Each structure stands twice: as structure tokens, then as C-alpha cells.
Amino acid sequence: NAGVMQNPRHLVRRRGQEARLRCSPMKGHSHVYWYRQLPEEGLKFMVYLQKENIIDESGMPKERFSAEFPKEGPSILRIQQVVRGDSAAYFCASSGGPTDTQYFGPGTRLTVL
């Protein structure tokens, strides 16, 4: 399967813990995007990365959230000290270029107890 992969598919955390979400882009894609979907809402852009660079993080909360896309390995979205309001589906997408079609992974559903 050469599609975008995300893991874990489901993640349960207690308030105050850390959540790490991983995304492996489609083969040949070097652009990765993270989006958040709150229940019954549309997707909201969080951050856009290329290998080793954050291109646009205008949609990401300034505190507790960080993202990286290292030279080797998957992109990581990290949420520190999670709160109930962080419960959502987090989708990763990848593309071959900034204006190319973005293909989405299956998402990680984060539940904060």
C-alpha cells in the first residue's frame, strides 16, 4: 500500500499526558500537512512541513503543539499536556508539491479522558 499512513489509528490519553501522532507520506511525496477535525466539523489546517522544515504553522496552537518532519522517518505531531478539547481526528496529508493534490491518511482519533 503506497498511500499515506498514520499511526496509531486510535489513541487514548488522560489529561496532562503527551500524544504523539505519526504520519508517513505517500512514496515520492516530500510535503506533509496536518489537519484537525473536531466532531461534526470540517477540517482545519494546522501545519505544513517539508523535510526538516516547517513551511507554515499558522494554524497550529502556539502552546503545547509541535510538529516535525525529520530527514529520516515519519512526520510527528506532538501534543503536550493534552486537554479534553484536544479530542479530535487528526489527519495527515501529503503531496508532491505545494499546489499538488493532497492525499489523506486514515486519520488518528485522539480521545482525552
Partner 1 sequence: AQKVTQAQTEISVVEKEDVTLDCVYETRDTTYYLFWYKQPPSGELVFLIRRNSFDEQNEISGRYSWNFQKSTSSFNFTITASQVVDSAVYFCALSEAVRGDMRFGAGTRLTVKP
Quick one: 42 or 85, whose CB is closer to partner 1? 42
Residues 4-43: x where in contact with partner 1 by CB under 8 A, - otherwise, as a string: ---------------------------x-x-x-----xxx
First to last CA, the chain: 33
- Contacts for 61 with CB less than 8 Å, ≥ 6 apart: none
**C-beta of residue 88 within 8 angstroms of C-beta of residue 100:** no
CB of 81 to partner 1, least distance (A): 26
Query: If binding is defined by CB under 8 A, does position 96 make contact with partner 1?
Result: no
Closest CB 42 distance from partner 1, rounded Å: 4
Q: Give the Cα-Cα-Cα angle 104, 21, 59 (nearest 5 degrees).
A: 70
Nearer to partner 1, 30 or 81 (CB): 30
